[in-house]
Amino acid sequence: MEFSQYDVNALMHITNRPSLVFTEGRGMWLTDNNGKRYLDYLQGWAVNCLGHSPQCVVDAVSAQVGKLINPSPAFYNEPSIVLASMLTKHSCFDRVFFANSGAEANEGAIKLSRKWGKVNKNAAGENRYEIITFNHGFHGRTLATMSASGKAGWDTMFAPQVPGFFKAELNDIASVEKLITDKTVAVMLEPVQGESGVIPATREFMQQLRALTKQHNLLLIVDEVQAGMGRTGELFAYQLSNIEPDIMTLGKGIGGGVPLSALLCREEVACFEPGEQGGTYNGNPVMTAAGIAVLTELLKPGFLQEVKDKGDYMAAQLRKLCVKHGLDGERGEGLLRALKLGKDIGPKIVEAARDLNPIGLLVNSPRPDLLRFMPALNVTTEEIDHMIAMLSEVLTKLGH
Ligand SMILES: *Cc1c(COP(=O)(O)O)cnc(C)c1O
């Protein structure tokens, strides 16, 4: 292997990686160090919303790197102002804070709602700080966002962790209502649970949540790190249910692959005072220039309709695959979809698909009985057909 002169163990072991090294990517395709090509339905974990190395991001980043990399977050820079203005213009939010990862944006959302709960105290004059989140939800890997996540064991893995998070059940409004106390300040959820296996919150549930949070003077926080930026066929997933949340976080797709995330809120909620929030790289012009390039592309006439159409097409093809191979069905929104296998063969399929020759297929199995698809939003129908054919080949090979 071309890389054997280096020690792969120099990298901290935090996940089991296959012994492959990827060297190039373009659109839906990745190439490894042996020259083998892969059709990529992971796309860097749903971050490459326009595929690998899209020309518009390459051009925007190259131009900005040559012009100004980082004047410091203590000064204004042009790309961050432009991107913030574009985001507020096309959403129900008024203020934007840029960060570098989804977890950091969510950490900011938690801080902002706790601050708001300090300003908007309860009847007894106490600070409100409890946040209701959801079982199986995922919000990141910092101490607070792990506590907010609903993965089994995640709130105690690095104990003592951050207290104040209580877990309800998605699509069960009574389970949320039951958890409201006089210390509750917010409800936080993914409009489509991603890591837990692509489970959409229903329109009805989102509307019930909005009504319930208004009634109790609670903030509604949507974590759109995975489901935002066109992924569902709407620019933002909350738009699917015609509601207006108070706070939203964006990540993954917003940078088209580079580290960029955002915390957005309505003006009434923007209660940080100078010194309470910040970060060295936050809102730097290189990453926000990438964000402008991405958002400009998503806003082109017809782009989001195409995402919806491709999502429908992919859903139909996945349902045909289910009939052919006796699988359980599919679900999702737009181009965030999952295939229900009905048995725990996900990890085996992931491996066999990767090992196909001469072309491999990259898919993800967030749960052993499920495959998840996070293609580029500009994936072609041919690339969807190609993926379905390869999956069918793998299923046949494995005897299903
Ligand atoms: C990926 C993800 C995060 C964490 O984002 P990072 O950039 O990995 O910190 C948070 N919330 C959701 C819904 C995600 O999918």
What six digits make up the tokens of 140? 């990141």
103 in a labelled binding site: yes
Atom of ligand 1 nearest to the CA of 193: 13
Q: HSE on the CB side for 381, CA within 13 Å? A: 8
Is the CB of residue 138 below 6 angstroms from any atom belonging to ligand 1? yes
pLDDT at 3: 61
Summarised one tens digit per residue, pLDDT across range 325-378 is 999 999 999 999 999 999 999 999 999 999 999 999 999 999 999 999 999 999
pLDDT in tens, 184-195: 999 999 999 999
CATH class of the domain whose range is 3-53+302-397: alpha beta
Per-residue pLDDT, 1? 46
* Distance of CA 261 from the midpoint of ligand 1 (Å): 10
Q: What is the atom index within ligand 1 of the atom nearest the CA of 137?
A: 13
H-run or E-run covering 376: none
Q: Would you name the residues annotated as active-site residues?
A: 138, 223, 252
Sign of CA dihedral 1, 26, 253, 389: negative
Domain boundaries, the chain: 3-53+302-397, 55-298
- CB 136 within 8 Å of CB 151: yes
The label of the residue with tokens 């950490």 reads: 107
Is 270 within any annotated ligand binding site?
Answer: no
The whole-number pLDDT of residue 5 equals 78
Collect the ranges in the chain with pLDDT lower than 50: 1
- For 17-51, b/e burial (b = at least 16 CB within 10 A) is eeebeeeebebbbbebeeebebbbbbbbebbbbbb
- In this structure, what is the dihedral angle of CA atoms 51, 308, 351, 137, given to the nearest 10 degrees? 100
Closest approach atom of ligand 1 to CA 141: 9
Q: Determine if residue 233 is labeled as part of a ligand binding site.
A: no
133 beta partners: 167
The CA distance from 254 to 262, in Å, is 8
223 within ligand 1 shell (Cβ under 6 A): yes
The residue whose CA is least distant from atom 6 of ligand 1 is 102
- Cα separation, 107 vs 279, whole angstroms: 12
* Helix (H/G/I), strand (E/B), else coil: 335: coil
DSSP labels for 261-318?
EEEEE-GGG----TTSS--TTTT-HHHHHHHHHHHHHHTSTTHHHHHHHHHHHHHHHH
Rounded Cα distance between 294 and 281, Å, is 19
Contact 190 CB / ligand 1 (< 6 Å) = yes
State the architecture of 55-298 in CATH terms.
3-Layer(aba) Sandwich (3.40)
Pocket flag, ligand 1, residue 226 (CB < 6 Å): yes
Ligand 1 centre distance from Cα of residue 162 (Å): 18
Pocket lining: 194 vs ligand 1, CB cutoff 6 Å: yes
Residue 368, number of CB atoms within 10 A of its CB: 12
Q: Are 382 and 54 in contact (CB under 8 A)?
A: no
Reduced DSSP (H G I as helix, E B as strand, rest coil) percent helix, strand, coil of the chain, to 5:
35, 20, 45
DSSP annotation of 9: G
